[in-house]
Chains A and B, each alone.
Chain A
């Protein structure tokens, strides 16, 4: 065998190419790979953060939501930062003790790191939940955020209220039917069960029993939340008629574009108030009150003129018309109305028609005032530039909107640049959380053999822990930059 010198192999006579071997890397291959990976991760997150900066400062000036607008709590982010820093510390300690061949202590610190990492994710899940529960999602259709209070927004509010009202009214109708069916069915089943049945009667008996089961389960299901449903239905009906439909009508009737916008902004504010709009909304409320009063006065005067000569037939018809508006499907009222109208002359009828329209509008105005008193009982605080509760029913302090008062409403809200905020927030924190999850999986992979008694975290494992630690420190590094950017800026 020929001698080796500095890496040159002798040609064995087979025609091999002569390879030149060079000095090795100063660190283990695993560490090299991990550092290369981390530099790609640096570029990945630098790209995402750069995008966030461009989008955030490129939003229409002054629109970016404040922290409390989007339910972002800085102290929770701060707590998460402390948790992640602690986990960085514990993994370094685990490495130290592994190198010193103290596997038990090293395992303890690794488990501590796993716990801190899981705590981070738990707190993050709580944060995401608070966003979702307020209708803040990264994408439509789940996202309830609208950029402006325009006619599409008001239509969306009306649609949402409509769907709530329809669902509950359907449930009530189901309940009625079920209630009506139940006694009859029970009686029939009773009679059938007493006697011996033929084949046909047997089938009938089974069918009836099944139907009774359905009816009873429906009853149970719907009656369980009967009181709650009734309460909510009442609220939703008032909001639909006297908030949403009123706003649509007000916006459609006026020629003044500023007043048109004002009506829609008031609705948006009532649902989800933004501090910056409070002063203008106070002004708009004054306008509305003044206009309502003016219109009501004019209508009452008009009504007086129309019905200057009193007659019992006119009064009767007007009374019945009013009843009909409240209960359109009542055939009894319809019959009486048809009969009473038959007794009127032609001029009386035209007068009555106009007076009825006046009545309807007066009724709408009255309902609006009542609804505002009940559901928007607030006054403007000139010091704080915000609206505060005025009522004594246990509510005090700042007005937080209908969505806050009634959590089940989940009405669309006006939140300028809210969708952009949600996209960037969920993207950045989501990718970061994904990296945390991957880190936790690696921890479990390291700790599982230890738990099963198959390995120990001694100095032979120091390289694995070091590399894992490098990855975990990088995750911490990203959060160190994300926290001020997302929460504090």
Chain B
């Protein structure tokens, strides 16, 4: 069957491809930026997630042809999106709390973020200036 020239078209696909490349570059630049990833962590993450969602939408709508499909596309996409959203939302209460329920024994063997002490309480240190652990490489 002949394809209706009303949809698609090489130009559209090429433009979408270029847009995807540009968005990838934006995401990469955000991820490599000192300022965004260390000082404004959450802003950086939000930007990268937003860029990823835009890229995903572009691929789904144009490359996967959904923008030109009939209403059955909603039957497919809406329940799947709801289920994925539910899955992530149901995990939200667990995010960041795992460490809180570690048992004593597990805590003994768990990793430490940094070396805990540079002064021994049992002895006076001989050095005059003690280097404080730097705060800039705190949690990622």
Contacts and interface: CB of A to CB of B under 8 A. Distances in A.
Given A39-B80, A43-B83, A54-B91, A96 B13 contact: yes
Interface in B71-107: 72, 76, 79-80, 83-84, 87-88, 91, 94-99
B111 interface: yes
Interface in B4-55: 8-10, 13-14, 16-17, 20-21, 24, 27-28, 30-32, 37, 45, 48-49, 51-52, 55
Given A283-B130, A473-B59, A488-B48, A58 B94 contact: yes
A280 B115 contact: yes
B17 A85 contact: yes
A47 B87 contact: yes
Contact of B76 (A39, A51, A82, A473): A39
A109 B45 CA distance: 35
Interface in A429-459: 459
Given A62-B138, A88-B59, A279 B111 contact: no
A85 B123 CA distance: 61
A484 B131 contact: no
B112 to A, nearest CB: 6
Contacts of A50: 87-88, 91
Contacts of A365: none
A62 B135 CA distance: 11
B112 A148 contact: yes
B134 A488 contact: no
Most buried by A among B1, B31, B134: B31
Interface in A455-489: 459, 462, 466, 469-470, 473-474, 476-477, 480-481, 483-484, 487-489
A283 B13 CA distance: 59
Interface residues of A, number: 78
Contacts of A81: 24, 28
B111 to A, nearest CB: 3
A385 B135 CA distance: 12
Nearest to B130: A283
A282 B131 contact: yes
Contact of A35 (B49, B76, B95): B76
Contact of A62 (B49, B79, B131, B139): B139
Contacts of A466: 65
Interface in A251-277: 255-256, 258-259, 261, 265, 275-277
B59 A480 contact: yes
B134 A385 contact: yes
Interface string B103-140: 00000011111111111111101110011111001111
A99 interface: yes
A259 B122 CA distance: 9
A406 interface: no
A150 B95 CA distance: 28
Contacts of B80: 39, 42-43
Contact of A258 (B51, B97, B117): B117
Contacts of A58: 94-99
A344 interface: no
A60 to B, nearest CB: 5
Nearest to B1: A459
Interface string A16-55: 0000000001110000000110010011001100110111
B11 to A, nearest CB: 11
Given A42-B80, A43-B80, A85 B10 contact: no
A161 to B, nearest CB: 23
A477 B133 contact: no
Contact of B137 (A93, A259, A276): A276
Contacts of A36: 76
Contacts of A150: 109
Given A26-B70, A39-B80, A100-B3, A279 B131 contact: yes
B56 interface: yes
B6 to A, nearest CB: 13
B64 interface: yes
A378 to B, nearest CB: 15
The 10 closest A-B pairs by CB, nearest first: A58-B98, A488-B31, A62-B113, A416-B111, A62-B139, A99-B3, A280-B115, A89-B17, A258-B120, A39-B80
Given A42-B84, A59-B99, A279-B131, 15 more contacts: A46-B83, A50-B88, A54-B95, A59-B98, A74-B32, A78-B24, A93-B10, A256-B123, A259-B120, A276-B113, A470-B64, A480-B52, A480-B59, A488-B28, A488-B30
19 contacts: A27-B69, A39-B76, A46-B83, A47-B87, A51-B91, A61-B139, A62-B113, A63-B111, A75-B28, A85-B21, A88-B63, A96-B9, A150-B109, A258-B121, A280-B114, A469-B63, A476-B59, A488-B30, A488-B32
